[in-house]
């Protein structure tokens, strides 16, 4: 090694001068590392990566440990890598579970990729972004009809535990993989072991795991690791988009835990929070993630994000900050889940920014008419609860009957739930869904009972079920 290289290496070596839990202060006598640079501590076969967050006086940087800092001592040598954290990218990650460094955590052997990419990249500029007007069909009636996925768009699933968020995510992965051959990247931010394990088994059992790359920043890991999980996932998704020149689906579960991890990082750094208790950098941190999820001329990254709503308060600053980035909002309701209607989607609380130019005339008109009908049904529910349906006028009885049929028609059996329900899953095209709802609105099925509409496929299967019921009588 030449004398110049030795000097350069010495310039990049620092020493730990302070440890405050996950926060590690490092003194560099030579050049200071840049913000976001990765630092490495090698001690007794243990390798700990730090990320630079702040520059302090006296040639010192404040960093956060991307792992457990137990056992660190003042005086340990720290090496500046001279760059931000890089992760392996490529098709080799499909079918595997990795952590935020791209290291496998599924006990299926090492992963060898041809390329590694930095997790920090500028979002595409205005000229590079392609505004697609194409809808990605999921085969799930309620989603395709009420809140369609647009290429390069972002959809948020709002709901608490047990309302079917993960089941809906796995069904979307299954359907888009089987029908369109899409690859997916799943980011588990603050994922519990049980949740990750259930997702893995569901994807494996439905034979779609080879098309999905899974990145986990688990609940028991440091806040810095959970905070950077989406960036690793997006980096892998960007490579797959540009390599395959195709549409990639990116699932983030849960984006609220990403905000919480940012709040923890902000707290341990001693930054003053905003009035609401969240970090003052909340909006920019969300923007850093969301603005990289876009369509380009090469392909698109379409995102589905699960979002926990604290105390069911949609006015929460974190929820409002996420709202501004979404194209479609899907609210999953516990009341509907208790009625055994899946997906448990609240049609009136859910919304989409898409208009007739993207949806098409028939879909747009049918959707507007449906929402008007459901709104009227919702307003009649108090009267029904007190007086009963018999006290309604004939016109309102028809309104209630059609609304119930539509709500039940928008339920359907899932492929990924077959082993629990023993009911074969169904895939329904957008055209079939719109046609079915349109015919219900026009009164073609007013003589039918609600029963054949529940957990049915397209409207033809409803007609078959009704015919068999009549014959059975």
Q: Give the contacts of 160 (CB within 8 A, at least 6 positions apart).
A: 308, 309, 312, 334
Task: Tell whether residue 164 is among the known ligand binding residues.
Answer: yes
Q: Given the DSSP bridges, would you call strands 77-84 and 154-158 parallel, antiparallel or unpaired?
A: unpaired
pLDDT digits (tens, 9 = 90+) for 405-459: 999 999 999 998 888 888 899 999 999 999 999 999 999 999 999 999 999 999 9
Give the pLDDT confidence score for residue 3 in this predicted structure.
Answer: 47
**How many angstroms separate the CA atoms of 136 and 134, rounded?**
7
* Burial (Cβ within 10 Å: 0-12, 13-18, ≥19) of residue 93: buried
Q: Give the contacts of 471 (CB within 8 A, at least 6 positions apart).
A: none
Task: Tell whether residue 160 is among the known ligand binding residues.
Answer: yes
Q: Give the contacts of 429 (CB within 8 A, at least 6 positions apart).
A: 137, 139, 144, 458
Give the pLDDT confidence score for residue 243 in this predicted structure.
Answer: 81
Cis peptide before 160 (omega within 30 of 0): no
Catalytic positions, written as ranges: 165, 191-192
Give the pLDDT confidence score for residue 203 in this predicted structure.
Answer: 86
**Low pLDDT (below 70) residues in the chain:** 1-11, 132, 473
Strands of 35-93 (E only): list them.
37-43, 46-56, 60-65, 77-84, 86-89
Give the pLDDT confidence score for residue 6 in this predicted structure.
Answer: 44
The residues spanned by each domain of the chain are: 9-84, 87-354, 361-472
Task: Tell whether residue 262 is among the known ligand binding residues.
Answer: no
Task: Specify whether the CB–CB gap between 147 and 348 falls below 8 A.
Answer: no
Task: Specify whether the CB–CB gap between 302 and 153 falls below 8 A.
Answer: yes
Give the pLDDT confidence score for residue 7 in this predicted structure.
Answer: 47
Give the pLDDT confidence score for residue 423 in this predicted structure.
Answer: 87
Question: What b/e string do you get for 216-230 counting C-beta neighbours within 10 Å, with b at 16 or more?
Answer: bbbeebbbbbbbbbb
Question: What b/e string do you get for 48-81 counting C-beta neighbours within 10 Å, with b at 16 or more?
Answer: bbbbbbeeeeeebbbbbbbbebeebeeebebbbe
Which of the 8 DSSP states describes residue 66? S
**How many angstroms separate the CA atoms of 299 and 374, rounded?**
37
Q: Which two tokens stand for residue 48?
A: 């700990």
> In terms of CATH architecture, what is 9-84?
Beta Barrel (2.40)
Give the pLDDT confidence score for residue 371 in this predicted structure.
Answer: 95
- In the block, which residue shows the tokens 């290429």? 151
> In terms of CATH architecture, what is 87-354?
3-Layer(aba) Sandwich (3.40)
Rg over alpha carbons for the chain, rounded to the nearest Å, is 26
| Domain 361-472 class, CATH top level | mainly alpha
Task: Tell whether residue 161 is among the known ligand binding residues.
Answer: yes
Nearest alpha carbon to residue 33 among 12, 7, 17? 12
Task: Tell whether residue 434 is among the known ligand binding residues.
Answer: no
Give the pLDDT confidence score for residue 428 in this predicted structure.
Answer: 95
Task: Tell whether residue 166 is among the known ligand binding residues.
Answer: yes
């Amino acid at each position: 090694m030449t004398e110049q290289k030795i000097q350069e290496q010495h310039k990049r070596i620092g020493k730990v001068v302070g440890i405050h839990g996950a926060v590690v202060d490092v003194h560099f006598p030579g050049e200071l590392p840049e913000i976001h640079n990765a630092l490495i501590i090698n001690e007794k076969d243990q390798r700990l990566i730090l990320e630079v967050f702040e520059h302090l006086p006296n040639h010192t940087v404040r960093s956060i440990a991307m792992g457990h800092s137990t056992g660190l001592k003042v005086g340990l040598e720290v090496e500046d890598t001279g760059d931000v954290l890089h992760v392996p990218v490529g098709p080799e990650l499909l079918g595997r579970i990795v952590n935020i460094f791209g290291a496998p955590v599924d006990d299926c052997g090492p992963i060898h990729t041809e390329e590694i990419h930095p997790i920090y990249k500028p979002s595409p500029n205005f000229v590079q972004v392609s505004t697609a007007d194409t809808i990605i069909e999921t085969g799930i009636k309620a989603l395709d009809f009420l809140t369609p996925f647009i290429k390069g768009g972002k959809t948020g699933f709002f709901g608490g535990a047990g309302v079917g968020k993960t089941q809906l995510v796995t069904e979307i992965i299954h359907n888009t993989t089987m029908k369109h051959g899409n690859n997916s990247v799943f980011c588990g931010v603050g994922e519990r072991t049980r949740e990750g394990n259930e997702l893995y088994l569901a994807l494996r059992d439905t034979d779609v795991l080879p098309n999905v790359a899974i990145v986990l920043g688990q609940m028991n890991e440091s806040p810095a690791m959970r905070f950077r999980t989406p960036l690793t996932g997006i980096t892998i998704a960007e490579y797959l988009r540009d390599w395959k020149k195709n549409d990639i689906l990116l699932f983030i579960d849960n984006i609220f835990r990403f905000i919480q991890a940012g709040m923890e990082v902000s707290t341990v750094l001693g930054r003053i929070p905003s009035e609401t208790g969240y970090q003052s950098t909340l909006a920019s941190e969300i923007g850093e993630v969301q603005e990289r999820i876009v369509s380009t001329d090469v392909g698109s990254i379409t995102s589905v994000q699960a979002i926990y709503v604290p105390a069911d308060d949609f006015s929460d600053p974190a929820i409002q900050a996420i709202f501004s980035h979404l194209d479609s909002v899907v609210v999953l309701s516990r009341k509907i889940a208790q009625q055994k209607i899946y997906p448990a989607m609240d049609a009136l609380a859910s919304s989409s920014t898409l208009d007739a130019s993207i949806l098409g005339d028939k879909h747009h008109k049918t959707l507007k008419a449906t929402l008007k009908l459901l709104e009227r049904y919702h307003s009649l529910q108090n009267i029904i609860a007190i007086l009963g349906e018999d006290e309604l006028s004939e016109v309102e009885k028809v309104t209630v009957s059609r609304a119930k049929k539509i709500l039940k028609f928008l339920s359907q059996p899932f492929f990924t739930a077959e082993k629990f329900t023993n009911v074969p899953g169904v895939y329904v095209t957008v055209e079939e869904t719109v046609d079915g709802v349109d015919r219900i609105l026009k009164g073609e099925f007013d003589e039918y009972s609600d029963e054949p509409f529940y957990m049915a496929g397209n409207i033809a299967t409803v007609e078959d079920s009704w015919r068999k019921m009549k014959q059975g009588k």
